[in-house]
Amino acid sequence: MPIYSSNRFGMRSATLKWIVLTGAVVIGLIIAIQLYWLNHIYKLEQKQFDTNVVKSVRGLFEDMSLSDSPGSHLQQMITMRPSPNTFVIRISNLPPEDTLAFYLTNELMDFDVLTECNVALYDKTKRYYIFQQNIASPASAPAVASATLEIYPADYHYILLHFPDRSAYILSQMNLWIIGSTVLVLVLIGLAISLFYFYKQKFLIEIQKDFVNNFTHEFKTPLAVMKIASEVLGQPGIIKQPGRMEKYTSIITHETEHLQNQVERLLKMAVSEQNVLRVEMESIPVKELIDQAISKLQPLVEARGAKIEIKIEAEDVAVKADKTHLELAIVNLIENGIKYSSVPLIIIEAGKCGSDSFISVKDNGVGIDKRFFKNIFKKFYRVPTGDVHNVKGFGLGLNFVKKIVDAHNGKIVVNSVPGIGTEFKIILPG
């Protein structure tokens, strides 16, 4: 069970989380808008390319006698667009081949269609291309066509213009836009990553601050009690009051043990952070394990008037585990159950679940809301419960329990109802 504290840290964390989330959404929207405009500009460039080709074809009709109806609308002449890269232009008369290539090269250059063009002349009577040529660029000399162009059968003569690199050419016209957008997107992605990193670091700093405050509180109180007790024991007449002396001696002993236990927890946590928890597996009677865990908590049980019930399916039930570590895990669960209950009732159950073994610790404490389940095993995590600080600790207990269970290749299941109680169930492989 996590340590309970104020909502202040949770509120700070939630506010920061919303700020980072809002920033990430804004960055995402900016990137989406930028990509939308790139796509829009690409479509405009496509239209501009097609318009320039149409203007080149118009100039070609003006330069040569290609139609018997000079007044015909040019759009009626472009009869087919088999693909975005291909134009089929209807003509009435077959022009001289060299003249066609010459004028077409000039017209494409005049209207800035500066990309490779495959031109072909279709004869309706022969039903094939009587002329094919590749224009590498409007500024270069005509060359023999290197590609075989698809024939589109028709009952009229036509000129076919095919631009194989149309898309690449259009993209090259957008180089500045693409480079600028790429830089902007990379910067925004970097900013988003920085925001996430900032949030993570800020979250860790807040946890560390919270831990230091809790650490100070946890150690300050026992030390203050020990100081007062030692002052009493230092009084000249204390030796004549054996009952009083025994009382204050036991106080110092209890507080010393408490501090020693807390230091051991911190040291074990530090070791588990550096290495995989090492376990020495052996068969252990569950009853013996539970009895030893309870005996270690006997002073706390008596002080809180706790009632502990043990329900084991059979006296000879055993688990294969590391005795020291598993006992520590059970101690943590029982201790939490006692500390977080006003009139503690702890029910410990153990037995077999198929081929697996289980140990369950139930309490009648304050319970944990379901929304906190995913965090309760995190180091230093404390379930927010307003400004209540009735229970001290570091928020390390359940984190260490989880590490022990993981080291045994087991799992720990949580069931809890706020105001009713909590159950932690350790399941270990047979």
Predicted confidence pLDDT, tens digits, the chain (430 residues): 444 344 444 555 667 677 777 877 888 888 888 888 888 888 999 999 999 998 998 888 888 888 776 555 666 677 788 889 999 999 888 999 888 988 998 899 889 898 889 999 999 999 999 999 888 765 444 554 456 788 999 999 999 999 988 888 888 888 888 888 888 888 888 887 887 777 777 767 766 666 665 566 556 656 766 776 787 788 888 788 888 888 778 778 877 876 777 676 666 655 555 455 677 888 889 898 998 888 877 777 877 888 999 998 777 788 888 887 888 888 889 988 888 888 899 999 998 888 888 999 999 988 888 888 887 887 666 666 544 445 555 456 787 788 888 888 999 999 988 888 999 999 998 7
Q: How many CB atoms lie within 10 A of CB 343?
A: 10
DSSP symbol at 387: B
| CB burial of residue 202 (10 Å; 0-12, 13-18, 19+) | middle
Strand pairing partners for 358? Answer: 351, 427
pTM for the complete prediction? 0.45
Residue 193: HSE in the Cβ half-sphere, 13 Å Cα cutoff:
6
Round to whole Å and give the CA distance between 362 and 349.
Answer: 8
Let me know how long the chain is. Answer: 430
Provide the angle, in degrees to the nearest 10, between the axes of the packed helices 8-63 and 175-233: 170
Round to whole Å and give the CA distance between 200 and 207.
Answer: 11
Round to whole Å and give the CA distance between 414 and 416.
Answer: 7
The strand ranges marked E within 271-340 are 282-285, 307-312, 318-321
DSSP symbol at 364: -
Q: How many CB atoms lie within 10 A of CB 98?
A: 11
The answer for 294, left when phi > 0, alpha when psi is -120 to 50, beta otherwise, is alpha
Q: Which residue shows structure tokens 């960055």? A: 27
